[in-house]
Structure 1
Amino acid sequence: MHKFISLIALLFIFNISTAQIKAGNPEVDPIQVQKTFETWSAYQSKNIMLSRDFKALDVTSKEISKEFFLDQLANGNFIPIRLKSEGNEYAYKLFKILPKTDTSIKATINQIGFDAFKNFKMEGTAFPQFSFKDLNGNLVTNETMKGKIIVIKCWYIHCTPCIREFPQVNKLVEEYKNRKDILFISLAEDSPEQLKIFLARKPLSYSVIPDMKVYMNESLQLNSFPTHFILNKEGLIAKVLPNFESLEVALAKESKL
């Protein structure tokens, strides 16, 4: 009986150990990926998506809150590396930036960490007071948006990444066209005249609200474009996202709630 219990205990310990090893395995070598700024930039752009839900680990593999993790990226001396995991689950671990690493890597990480931390702190708060007309003269306010999931794209005409997303976000609108409880709205910096000329060449399926530069700078305090918001049916900010890839995943999740 004692031998049987000991065997069970050993198997339990082995399973925990195996899980920890699996969870702790980085998908790339943390030393090699910071050899040059180009290497890090290529990895970061494809693999680091801080707006998504993820499990966060510190340098000792201890699980920490997402808020603390992002704060460490914004103000510390760390790089985030994604850990190998099954399916679409995300797990990131902090690794120390090496002494001889290009200082541009740290500067970039601090910036993306700062932006992600700021966006994260907005989640769960009420979207700022809003009352504007779109290009078709329709009034859009916090009250008219209540009871619906609202997807908001913030952009401007000369923002190349913003425009590059148009085919993808238009496809997203088409995908949810039968969901009457989901609205797609965009806030643009540009004037109505500029937007009408531009959108005649580059159509956007979102409702477009012009002259939003002051609102986006002061009320939303945006410093990065594009930025996407998902508001839940209570008018609270569910997610703040920097690109279409993260938006697509977050909207799929929110639409099922």
Structure 2
Amino acid sequence: MKKSFAILIALLIFATSFSQNKFGNPEVDPVQIQKTYTDWSVYQSKKIMLSRDFTALDAASKEISKEAFLDQLANGNFIPIRLKSEESVYVYKLFKILPKTDTSIKATINQIGFDAYKNYKMEGTAFPKFSFKDLDGNLVTNESMKGKIIVIKCWYIHCTPCIREFPQVNKLVSEYKDRKDIVFMSLAEDSAEQLKTFLARKPLSYSVIPDMKEYMNTALQLNSFPTHFIINKEGVISKVLPNFESLEVALVKASKL
């Protein structure tokens, strides 16, 4: 009887261990990566893309919804780590932030989590009504854009990360130049005069809409730049993205639908 009981306990321990490790082990040491803000910042900027589709695990290795995962990042005391998997498979797990960890790490994670959560909640909703006139005098509205996939970049002249993306997003426009059903449009805070002077030195292949600060603040409630939107052919927001890397991946998927 004792032997049978021991075997049962061993099987339960094995089953628990298997359920926790079936997604793989962390690709970095969750303790070591918290040693310095710089180490963590470099890791998260290259490896953690919260706007993409991923399998979410809580601190106990239990699978949870993406919404719950982002909520815990925004309001909890966790650090996200990717688990080892195939290149195209993304599994992120929450690990506790240690007591002696630099407080800047937690503060930054909470902010990143908040932004990602807000963006995620916008997905699946209708893009706010608009009637824009670009720098060339072309009028674009919700009605005129029906039946097209719209890629929108929100930015302003003095946003360094926004400008750093220009060569990449320009190349993206070139790659999709034969897709007449995909439109690239940018909303900029700055005036038409400022933009024309700036873009003469730093060309952007998107159509550019000036004086969009109020619209981005009120209709879109943005507090982080750049922000990219992909709007489907029905005028619904399919993705809200914080950088070019995420945009490139999401647009490949959206363009095939």
Q: TM-score range by the shorter chain?
A: over 0.9
Q: Look up the match of 2:3.
A: none
| Distance in 1, Cα, partners of 2:184 & 2:89 | 27
1:59 and 2:55 aligned: no
Alignment partner, residue 112 of structure 1: 112
Fraction of identical pairs, as percent: 84
2:238 partner amino acid: A
- Corresponding position of 1:146: 146
Give the superposition deviation at 1:16. Answer: 11
Answer whether contact 1:49 1:246 (CA < 8 A) is retained: yes
Separation (CA, whole Å) in 1 of partners of 2:36 and 2:121: 32
Shift of 1:21: 2.5
Give 5+ residue unaligned stretches, structure 1. 1-13
Moved over 2 A (4+): 14-22
Cα distance change of structure 1 residues 124 and 154 upon mapping to structure 2, 3 Å threshold? same
Give 2:231's aligned residue: 231
Q: Secondary structure at the match of 2:151?
A: strand
Q: CA deviation at 1:19?
A: 8.0
Q: 1:93 maps to which residue?
A: 93
TM-score, normalisation: structure 1? 0.92
Task: Call closer, same or farther: CA 1:99–1:17 in 2, change over 3 Å.
Answer: closer
Q: Structure 2 matches for 1:44-55, cutoff 5 A?
A: 44-55=44-55
Equivalence map 1:2-13=2 (5 Å): none
- The alignment covers a number of residue pairs equal to 244
* SS, match of residue 256 in structure 2: coil
Instruction: Please state how far the C-alpha of 1:145 moved relative to its aligned partner.
Output: 1.0
- Give the letter aligned to residue 21 of structure 1: N
Distance 2:70 2:19 in 1: 24
Q: What TM-score does the superposition give when structure 2 sets the normalisation length?
A: 0.92
Q: Is the 8 A contact 1:58 1:93 kept in 2?
A: yes
**Following TM superposition, by how much is the alpha carbon of 1:69 offset from its aligned partner in structure 2, in angstroms?**
0.1
- Kept in 2: contact 1:81–1:94 (CA 8 A): yes
Pairwise CA distance, 1:102:
0.8
The separation in 2 between residues aligned to 1:244 and 1:38, in whole angstroms, is 22
Equivalence for 1:250: 250
SS at 2:144 equivalent? helix
Instruction: Return the alpha-carbon distance in structure 2 between the equivalents of residues 54 and 199 of structure 1.
Output: 37
Say whether 1:35 aligns with 2:35: yes
Distance 2:68 2:21 in 1: 23
1:82-108 deviation per Cα after TM superposition (whole angstroms, max 9, x unaligned): 011112111100000111111111000
* 1:24, distance to aligned residue in structure 2 (A): 3.6
